[in-house]
């Protein structure tokens, strides 16, 4: 590495970390300067999480050096990390829901007076910190009452209370709206001006030029390059995945067949109203709309997870019993939910057990599970999907986000699903794994399946859909074929007020070209 800069806060040299059967990091170099945002970029499983866990004290390196303020240090736990001025904000927040904001900020370090916790001082100090990060929330508010964006600001305030000189942010924008992202960026820029060094991990390449100063790319556990944040996205992708991705959304469109899924007049009072659409064999239909438009609620009702008051769902021409997940699965519908960890996986079970969740009952004979058959099927599907793992027995919790998503999709492939509903299929997944998911969608439709996809990533909807159904305020605002589905056209429908039943129906039919 180059000689130390006078502004250098942190330097990592030749870090190596191995786990049984896996080299997680090998000869990784990284440095951070005062008042900069240094982006750490890499695919899921590249080693980013392992690296930041070295700095937070969760892991100890097998080889290499960590240098803070010009001195080599050993980080054996969270207290060492805090003492060195390093604070980490993980994707899963480290806050106690039943405590107040102030109690969380100063947890374990509450100011005391006469041996008692000095609540007045604690809340006043918390108020100063909250003001510094620009969030209007009472120090006395319970953390469980806060939304995601405010929780993140509380985490940042907590980091500042430690007088952190180094702030590590792991995927901080993954669950934020565009407005919340802008507020977060404003806070990060303010911290940068205050001389804080920020390690920023993101999968959203457009955020790098907007916020970053430098980028270090990690691939397969090695640092493969350090480049300016102004580096073109194509070059960043090439560094990340070791190959160029010529087409970001490689949709292979063919001729659509018969309608496999037909939804007519679906209504749930106060949630969605008179929703109608169909998905044909061999096609991808995207559902677009703003947060709160009712997209997820509709597909959960279609799958039987939630009830509805009126309307009907047909699969391959046959009516589907409402509010019955087993009936939906038997008919050939699969749902990859928005919350893959909470609803799509059993995190403490193995890859093999998760892949067999849907087919366990159908492959059993006289109450006995066909273990050999399940194992062979799991082995085949994991290989087909390219799941990166130590083996089928590995706990799914320890896989990267992209590989977890492959397992969620894989269990439906094993069930020979006719209609696959994908709700935010690539959220929190790196660009290389995204393309693998898109290729998988192509394989499904080429084999005659139908795909219904919800995504808040509008370019993804436009790039991968054959038709786009746009929802606004719980209704279908219109439907656009791929050649007419532009960002402007979709957004114009997404922000429209609720149509009357007749105008909504007429507009939809017209847009379908019927």
Q: Which is nearest to 266 in space by CA: 320, 347, 317?
A: 320
Q: Where is 117: in which H helix or E strand?
A: strand 116-117
- Cβ distance 467 to 253 under 8 Å? no
In tens digits, what is the pLDDT along the chain, a chain of 514 residues? 445 677 999 999 999 999 877 788 999 999 999 999 999 998 777 889 899 999 999 999 999 999 998 999 999 988 899 899 999 988 777 889 999 999 999 988 888 888 888 899 999 999 999 988 878 899 999 999 888 788 888 988 888 888 889 999 988 887 777 777 888 899 899 899 999 999 999 888 889 999 999 999 998 899 999 999 999 988 888 888 776 555 678 888 888 999 999 999 999 999 999 999 999 999 999 999 987 899 999 999 999 999 999 999 999 999 999 999 999 999 999 999 988 878 889 988 999 999 988 776 555 555 566 677 778 888 888 888 888 888 899 999 988 888 888 899 888 888 889 999 999 998 877 777 788 889 889 989 999 999 999 998 888 899 999 999 999 999 999 999 999 998 889 988 988 754 433 333 334 333 333 3
- Residue 232 to residues 205, 209, 229, 460: CA-CA distances in angstroms? 9, 9, 8, 19
Task: Write down the pTM of the prediction.
Answer: 0.62
One DSSP character per residue, 270-304 reads: TTEEEEEEEEETT-EEEEE--TTSSHHHHHHHHHT
Work out whether the CA dihedral 243, 247, 250, 254 comes out positive or negative. Answer: negative
Helix runs in 34-177, H state only: 48-56, 78-83, 101-105, 119-132, 148-161
**Tokens linked to 507:** 């507009």
Tokens of 110: 């509450």
**E strands within 293-441?**
310-315, 318-319, 333-336, 419-423
């Amino acid at each position: 590495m180059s000689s130390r800069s006078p502004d250098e806060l942190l330097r990592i040299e030749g870090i190596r970390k191995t786990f049984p059967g896996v080299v997680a990091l090998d000869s990784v170099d990284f440095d951070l300067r005062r008042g900069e945002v240094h982006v750490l970029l890499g695919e899921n499983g590249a080693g980013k999480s392992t690296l930041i866990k070295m700095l937070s004290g969760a892991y100890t390196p097998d080889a290499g050096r960590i240098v803070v303020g010009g001195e080599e240090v050993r980080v054996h736990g969270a207290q060492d990390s805090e003492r060195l001025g390093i604070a980490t904000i993980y994707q899963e927040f480290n806050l106690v829901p039943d405590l107040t904001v102030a109690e969380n900020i100063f947890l374990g370090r509450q100011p005391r007076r006469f041996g008692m916790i000095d609540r007045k001082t604690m809340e006043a100090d918390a108020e100063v910190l909250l003001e510094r990060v620009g969030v209007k929330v009472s120090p006395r508010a319970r953390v469980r009452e806060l939304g995601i964006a405010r929780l993140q600001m509380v985490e940042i305030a907590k980091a500042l209370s430690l007088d952190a000189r180094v702030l590590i942010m792991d995927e901080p924008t993954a669950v934020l709206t565009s407005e919340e992202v802008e507020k977060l960026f404003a806070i990060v820029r303010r911290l940068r001006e205050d001389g804080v060094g920020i390690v920023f991990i993101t999968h959203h390449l457009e955020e790098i030029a907007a916020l970053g100063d430098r980028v270090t790319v990690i691939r397969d556990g090695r640092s493969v390059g350090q480049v300016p944040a102004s580096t073109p996205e194509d070059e960043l992708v090439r560094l990340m995945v070791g190959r160029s991705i010529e087409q970001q959304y490689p949709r292979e469109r063919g001729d659509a067949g018969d309608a496999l899924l037909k939804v007519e007049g679906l209504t749930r009072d106060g949630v969605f109203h008179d929703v109608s659409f169909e998905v044909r064999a061999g096609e991808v239909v995207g559902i677009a709309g703003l947060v709160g438009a009712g997209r997820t609620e509709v597909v959960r009702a279609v799958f039987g997870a939630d009830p509805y008051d009126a309307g009907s769902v047909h699969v391959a021409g046959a009516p589907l019993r409402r509010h019955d997940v087993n009936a939906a699965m038997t008919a050939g519908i699969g749902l990859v939910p928005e919350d893959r960890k909470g609803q799509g996986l059993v995190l403490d079970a193995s890859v093999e057990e998760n892949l067999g969740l849907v087919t366990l009952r159908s492959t059993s004979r006289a109450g006995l599970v066909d273990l050999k058959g399940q194992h062979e099927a799991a082995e085949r599907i994991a290989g087909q999907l390219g799941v990166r793992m130590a083996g089928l027995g590995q706990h799914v919790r320890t896989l990267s986000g992209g590989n977890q998503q492959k397992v969620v999709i894989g269990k439906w492939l094993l069930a020979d699903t006719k209609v696959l509903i994908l709700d935010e299929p690539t959220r929190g997944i790196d660009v290389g794994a995204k393309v693998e998911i898109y290729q998988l969608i192509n394989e499904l439709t080429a084999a005659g399946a139908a795909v219904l996809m919800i995504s808040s990533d509008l370019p993804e909807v436009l790039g991968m859909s054959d038709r786009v159904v746009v929802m606004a305020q719980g209704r279908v605002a219109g439907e656009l074929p791929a050649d007419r589905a532009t960002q402007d056209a979709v957004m114009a429908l997404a922000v429209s007020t609720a149509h009357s039943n007749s105008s909504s129906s007429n507009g939809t039919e017209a847009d379908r070209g019927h």
